[in-house]
Amino acid sequence: MRLADYIIDWLSSKGITDMFTVSGGGSIVLCDSLGRSDTMKYYCCHHEQAVAFAAEGYARASNNLAAALVTTGPGGTNTITGVSSSWIDSVPIMFISGQVYSTQTIKNTKLRQLGVQEINIVDLVKPNTKYAVSLSSPADIKYELEKAYHFALSGRPGPVWIDIPADLQLALINPRKLKSYKTRPISNLLDEKDINLVIEKLRVSKRPVILAGHGVKLAKGQSQLIKLIEEMNIPLLTTWNATDIINSDHPLFIGRPGAFAERGANFAVQNADLIITIGSRLPYMVTGYNSTDFGRNAFKIMIDIDRAELKKSTDIINYSIKVDALHFINALSGRSHYLKKCNSSWVEQCQKIRRKYPMLDHEYQKSNVFVNSYFFIQELSKLLKKDVRVVTDMGLSFVGTHQAFRIKLGQKLFTNSGHAPMGWGLPAAFGACVQNLKAPVICLTGDGGFMMNIQELATVMCHQPNLKIFIYNNEGYLTIKQSQQRGFENRLMGCSNDEHMKFPNFKLIAEAHDLPF
């Protein structure tokens, strides 16, 4: 069989039923295989950046691996922003790229280019992938696919990239004679002294909190974590990438701390005497830029699968444990009988502070001219049902949503938090639609971010997914505008709907794509 056919069949055998792509000359044989497949559906975007964002939205919605196919040269380089986005936020995606004939690649010649539209994509994406390789022999294809798959999903997940020269796409192979990749078991043992220290700190603590991050979701430990905090009566904080692991009206949920946050959540952090963070890399958006002041009255324990993140945080963390989030949660649950329940007065104190400093002041609701964005998010979250997925773009649509949205159990809410590229919202929302064609998806975006991938309205027009798009009329890039207003004496540059920047009539744009507005 053709090597290109084998790749598509192999992906299907791993349960991957959907693939995002922009067809191209360098990937033309792979595209032919994808188009002929009986087990794989394909979705054509209009830009490779959108391909990567859609794959990320799909992976986040499924909490599993997604797949993308792009072509050589600009097809690959257009994808790099999406690779970086999934790399920073630990989202597993397998990127397959087409390449020129292997006899036309620059190799070690120090040439800038040899083949038509050739680029050394592997060296460009290596720093932002868990594994990247250019296939050099048809006999290695099974080995490389299995190795990339293992790397994408093991330990801290992330993107992988396999580059396939055009002549190898056409090569005929015998699948029964291909060599395999032998996976090495990853040690996930929790040292007794580590769990004993955690138990001892919980025993003596009067004001403990648990801060849960994206790692809890990646480890599929949401339900076990909620059971644990209920057993121990410990207040729970979440990062924005973990917003949807607990419903907002849960009595033990006390908010989302950080630089853009509920004041009550930050007060809880600063008043706690013990903070256990599980599956969060503790970025500045959580700790604040003066990170040494984070939880200044607390003994801080960090649980993470990535040793580099643990080393990075030594200046703010008192004790670190390298282990998978679910493994830690299960180990602590198994020892919970050794612990007394947390004092209810501490939980009530946290909730009292939240009530004292609500996200939405009544004054925000009084305007007769404009709708306050936080009021809008609150009202929208009241209306949405439990099966909805909410996908945001960046800026106001990102920050305001994660601050004011009230999650119901069963809903999904996600954004790319680390790289945070404008234009992420629409294609990622489409990817979430593809992952579950029945579940309704809401896309929240600003007019600035929407313009970055507005061409994907044509993809929406083609497939008619269960998607509703809300566009904030910011008349530009609102977060940049606010920064210039406050920090640069209102000197606005490149952020407003003025003589330097214009926005289209979105009603006409919608009509051009046969979409109601």
pLDDT in tens, 306-334: 999 999 988 899 999 999 999 999 999 98
Residue pair 351/262 in contact (Cβ under 8 Å)? The answer is no
Burial of 417 (0-12, 13-18, 19+ CB in 10 A): buried
| 105 compared with 441, residue with greater pLDDT | 441
What tokens does 357 get? 């400093």
Q: How far apart are CA 498 and CA 501, in angstroms?
A: 5
28 forms beta bridges with: none
pLDDT at 365: 78
> Where in 149-283 does DSSP place strands (E)?
160-165, 208-212, 236-238, 274-278
What is the pTM assigned to this prediction? 0.95
| 342 compared with 158, residue with greater pLDDT | 158
**How many other C-beta atoms are found inside a 10 Å radius of the C-beta of residue 103?**
10
> Where in 195-311 does DSSP place strands (E)?
208-212, 236-238, 274-278, 299-304
Give the H/E segment covering residue 7: helix 3-13
Burial of 366 (0-12, 13-18, 19+ CB in 10 A): exposed
Any idea which of 172-176, 257-261, 357-361, 378-382 has the lowest mean pLDDT?
357-361
User: What does the pLDDT look like over 266-308, one tens digit per residue?
Assistant: 999 999 999 999 999 999 999 988 888 999 999 999 999 999 9
Pick from 102-111, 187-196, 455-464 the range whose average pLDDT is largest.
Answer: 455-464
pLDDT at 364: 76
Of 200, 229, 202, 233, residue with least CA distance to 216: 229
Residue pair 199/224 in contact (Cβ under 8 Å)? The answer is no
Taken as a whole, the chain contains a residue count of 517
pLDDT, mean over the chain: 94
317 forms beta bridges with: none
359: confidence class by pLDDT, cuts 50, 70, 90: confident
129 forms beta bridges with: none
User: What does the pLDDT look like over 447-481, one tens digit per residue?
Assistant: 999 999 999 999 999 999 999 999 999 988 988 88
Residue pair 81/409 in contact (Cβ under 8 Å)? The answer is no
Q: How far apart are CA 429 and CA 61, in angstroms?
A: 9
pLDDT at 338: 79
User: What does the pLDDT look like over 361-383, one tens digit per residue?
Assistant: 777 777 788 889 999 999 999 99
| Averaged pLDDT for residues 209-221 | 96
Of 24, 20, 23, 27, residue with least CA distance to 4: 27
Q: How far apart are CA 241 and CA 154, in angstroms?
A: 19
Residue pair 436/59 in contact (Cβ under 8 Å)? The answer is no
pLDDT at 40: 97
What tokens does 27 get? 């990937």
